[in-house]
Amino acid sequence: MSAYDELMAFQRETEALGQVMGRLGWDQETVMPPGAAEQRAEEMAALDGVLHRRRTDPRIGEWLEAARPESAEAERQLHKIRHRFERTRRVPEKLSAALARTTSLAHRIWAEARATDDYALFAPKLAEVLGLAREKAAALSEDGNLYNALLDDYEPGATEAELEAMFGALRPRLVALRERVMGSDREVPRLGWRFDEAGQLALSTELARAFGYDSAHGRIDKAVHPFSSGSGLDVRITTRTVPEDPFNCFFSTIHEVGHACYEQGIDAAYLLTPLGRGVSMGVHESQSRIYENQLGRSRAFTGWLFGRMRDTFGDFGIGDGETFYAVANRCAPGFIRTEADEVHYNLHVLLRFDLERDLIAGRLEVPDLPEAWNARFEADFGLKVDRPSNGVLQDVHWSEALFGYFPTYTLGNVYAGCLHAALRRDVPDLDAHLARGVTAPATAWLREKVQRYGGLYEPRDVITRATGEAPGEGPLLDYLDAKFGEIYGV
């Protein structure tokens, strides 16, 4: 066997073990008996140890040195392996273990602090996590910018400067749109009805199928928080139901189907290789968001959904498709990011992006974080945060040291905007299909242009190749202005 083949065989086993780790996570959130948590933690820690030892195995260095790739794809596989190997090695074992231990503890304390609305309980642990994250960033940094070093875990190649420029252009137009919408005198009602769980789950499964989710290589279960999990031939999603809010179920299913279809759509030749997973969190989120919003919440598709909901639940008090479309896109400021509409969502993310950069750069201290959060929130949303669980304690990310993760949500929306503009150009009659509940012309386009490549190209390049131009915030803003300007008559 050549060094390349040996390396890839070793890597393939590591990828397979990584999938096992993902499956344990799935199991934990869906079917695990309540009393098994303690044992599960040991199982996952043991497997994590195995993965860590494999990822730092010195033979990888030798194989990388000796490997002679014979194709551009092989070159790219090596690049991905080398990049990961070097980053893993640069973090001292002791720091890595401290991060694992501290985030595990911090996660539990965060959950307790959120439940009891007690930021002071969480603050000391967050300060510890932040300190370790900064240490890690310093160990990884190539250009002296700590935030860039962290970003790379989620969005390889992205930089703070580039995101700052993009988000800086995004923010004023978003704020302006939000103000117009909030100033509108058009009243969009909420759904005022209870929708039975069986009906929601049946329609949710129908939606997953309509968006191309392949159930032969996945399954749908209920979980407290919807998620997608796994790559290759086993990509599972979860959903949830809320009696008075079936959109929560339907659009989170479509969102997770977007993630899952990305994984399911990757070229089978990349199975269990570094190219066999979505290339970045941003590109991943572009798929989930375009499925959920640009397609799922479009006028055409909601027209079809309105009919299916009437078939399933009977008359639920909305008389026509136009009203239903507005209801499905209703805008209102709220405290919680994950419940935000398309207009407000990115403002939630930008707030976190700015605050976490300040934390990492040392411009903001942990004790001062709630005040900074609340001030910014009131300025952006016109609402006073009433308690920490509606503010700084709402998201899990920082307790897990995921600094650099948040911006990928907005980057995903920006990418979705670019892809959507190109898709509409390439498939001019898309609405005629969506109006019949048929998404195939869109999902096939996304598979062809984005999904099948997996990790073959750099994230930005995936979007550039798919759309013919470098990604920017313009298309997303144009889309939002047009859509919400029309719905709210502003």
Which positions touch a second copy (CB under 8 A)? Answer: 12-14, 16-17, 19-20, 23-24, 27, 31-36, 38-40, 42-43, 45-47, 49-50, 214-219, 232-234, 236, 271-272
Under 8 Å between Cβ of 239 and 222: yes
Residue type at 38 in one-letter notation: E
Nearer to a second copy, 214 or 461 (CB): 214
Under 8 Å between Cβ of 198 and 246: no
List Cα–Cα distances, 353 to 119, 186, 287, 393, in angstroms: 20, 32, 21, 15
Rounded to 10 deg, the angle between the 72-90 and 3-30 helix axes is 60
Nearer to a second copy, 230 or 388 (CB): 230
Nearer to a second copy, 13 or 311 (CB): 13
Q: What does the alpha-carbon distance between residue 74 and residue 250 come to, in Å, rounded to a whole number? A: 40
Q: Which residues pair with 238 in a beta bridge?
A: 221
Extract the tokens encoding 158.
């992205």
Least spacing, CB of residue 216 vs a second copy, in Å: 4
Q: What does the alpha-carbon distance between residue 26 and residue 129 come to, in Å, rounded to a whole number? A: 25
Under 8 Å between Cβ of 464 and 470: yes
Nearer to a second copy, 2 or 39 (CB): 39
Nearer to a second copy, 34 or 319 (CB): 34
Under 8 Å between Cβ of 464 and 283: no
In three-state secondary structure terms, 273 is coil
Least spacing, CB of residue 451 vs a second copy, in Å: 17
Residue 56, judged by CB atoms within 10 A of its CB (0-12, 13-18, 19+), counts as middle
Q: What does the alpha-carbon distance between residue 213 and residue 210 come to, in Å, rounded to a whole number? A: 7
3-state SS, one letter per residue, for 287-326: HHHHHHHHHCCCHHHHHHHHHHHHHHHCCCCCCCHHHHHH
Under 8 Å between Cβ of 191 and 244: yes
Q: What does the alpha-carbon distance between residue 25 and residue 34 come to, in Å, rounded to a whole number? A: 14
Least spacing, CB of residue 198 vs a second copy, in Å: 15
Cα-Cα-Cα-Cα torsion 339, 342, 343, 345, nearest 10 degrees, comes to 50
Nearer to a second copy, 27 or 431 (CB): 27
Q: What does the alpha-carbon distance between residue 47 and residue 97 come to, in Å, rounded to a whole number? A: 14
Nearer to a second copy, 46 or 165 (CB): 46
E strand or H helix that includes residue 228 = strand 228-229
E strand or H helix that includes residue 50 = helix 37-55
Instruction: Point out the catalytic residue in the list 160, 256, 263, 285.
Output: 256
Least spacing, CB of residue 46 vs a second copy, in Å: 4
The phi, psi pair for 145, rounded to 5°, reads: -90, 110
Least spacing, CB of residue 12 vs a second copy, in Å: 7
Nearer to a second copy, 129 or 261 (CB): 261
Least spacing, CB of residue 271 vs a second copy, in Å: 7
Nearer to a second copy, 46 or 432 (CB): 46
Least spacing, CB of residue 268 vs a second copy, in Å: 10
In three-state secondary structure terms, 389 is helix
Residues 6 or more apart whose Cβ sits within 8 Å of residue 316 = 191, 193, 195, 309, 310
E strand or H helix that includes residue 458 = none
Number of residues in the chain = 490
Least spacing, CB of residue 25 vs a second copy, in Å: 12
Nearer to a second copy, 12 or 180 (CB): 12
Under 8 Å between Cβ of 73 and 275: yes
The verdict on whether 256 is a catalytic residue reads yes
Least spacing, CB of residue 272 vs a second copy, in Å: 6
Least spacing, CB of residue 22 vs a second copy, in Å: 10
Residues involved in catalysis:
256
